[in-house]
Structure 1
Amino acid sequence: MLRHIVLFSAKDPADIPAIRDGLSILRDIPHARLLEVAVNERHDALSDEPDVVVYGEFDDAEALAAYKAHPLYLESIRRVRPLRDMRLAVDYTVPAG
């Protein structure tokens, strides 16, 4: 299984709901085992915190590639890119067992 985690920060905190909504359409893409979109509830005055998190689980790299090729993925980018500052993605394989 492959885990896909993407962290976003907003240029303007007022845009956090719009970023969440723009990312939420990703849940309608059929290639993920699980896909969650959430606003970060932890805030630390000593560091820059991401505002929105996307967490996904995929069977393999091919399923993740199909997810990224879906038209809703491109629509999500179109909605979110102008509003976000930082985007940091991590993909890793979960060992069996």
Structure 2
Amino acid sequence: MIRHIVFFSASDPKDVETIREGLMMLSEIPHAQHFEVGQNLRSDTITGPQVDVVVYAEFEDETALAAYKAHPVYEACIARVRPLRELRIAADFKATN
């Protein structure tokens, strides 16, 4: 299983909800075994770049992840969210269990 985690921050705080809604478009893509979008609770006490929204998804394998990223809805999501975000950090890793 591949776990896919992406962190986003908004350029303008007023756009956080619009970013979250835009990222929810990705739930229409059928390749994920699990998919969710959440707004950061900001409960961590260690300071650093503030993340506003997180995408978490699980895929059977790298082929399913690649199919997800090649889907037209993925491109539409990028077009909607990219102009509003300041930061995007992504990580994909193989789960050990």
Q: TM-score range by the shorter chain?
A: over 0.9
Unmatched 5+ residue regions in structure 2? none
Partners in 2 of 1:19 and 1:95 — Cα distance? 31
Unmatched 5+ residue regions in structure 1? none
| TM-score of the superposed pair, with normalisation by structure 2 | 0.94
Q: In the alignment, what sits opposite 1:76?
A: 77
The one-letter code of the counterpart of 2:74 is Y
State, as a whole percentage, how many aligned pairs show the same letter: 54
Partners in 2 of 1:48 and 1:64 — Cα distance? 27
Partners in 2 of 1:54 and 1:7 — Cα distance? 7
Q: Deviations for 1:26-83, whole angstroms, at most 9, x for unmatched residues?
A: 0010000001001101155832211000000000000000000001000000000000
Count of residues paired in the alignment: 96
Partners in 2 of 1:35 and 1:49 — Cα distance? 22
* CA shift in 2, pair 1:90/1:45, >3 Å: closer
Q: In the alignment, what sits opposite 1:56?
A: 57
Root mean square deviation of aligned Cα: 1.2
Q: In the alignment, what sits opposite 1:4?
A: 4
| TM-score of the superposed pair, with normalisation by structure 1 | 0.94
Q: How does 1:85-96 map to 2 (within 5 A)?
A: 85-96=86-97
The one-letter code of the counterpart of 1:71 is P
